[in-house]
Amino acid sequence: SMLSVSPQVGSYRDISHESLSLFRLLEPQIEIVVLGTGDRVERLHPAVLKQMRQCGIAVEVQDTPNACATFNFLTSEKRRAAAGLIPP
């Protein structure tokens, strides 16, 4: 299912454990979240990625155009994926 990151996320710097909480609440649980960080790939705080992994959710961080393509590929493979996309 396609979901956007919560409205308070204006840039990759706003992506936090809290802003990703929606993805941890989905049923059935998703396997992977694809995050599009805008025009280019940005580094997220390692703790944020670790917390998601501990919840059993992989995180793929890409620039937004590639994140869209990855999300479409994952769903075509019947993977339980979600995307959080910051517009380029």
DSSP letters, 5-52, are PPTT--SGGG--TTTTHHHHH-SSPPSEEEEEESSS--PPPHHHHHHH
**Is residue 57, in this structure, part of any structural domain at all?**
yes
Angle at 46 between CA 42 and CA 57, to 5 degrees: 95
Residue with tokens 């396609």: 2
Can you give the pLDDT of all 88 residues of the chain as single tens digits? 444 444 556 677 777 777 788 888 888 899 999 999 999 999 888 998 999 999 999 999 999 999 999 999 999 999 999 999 998 8
Contact yes or no for 23/3 (Cβ under 8 A): yes
Domain containing residue 70: CATH number: 3.40.1230.10
**Is residue 21, in this structure, part of any structural domain at all?**
yes
pTM of the model: 0.81
**Is residue 6, in this structure, part of any structural domain at all?**
no
Domain count, the chain: 1
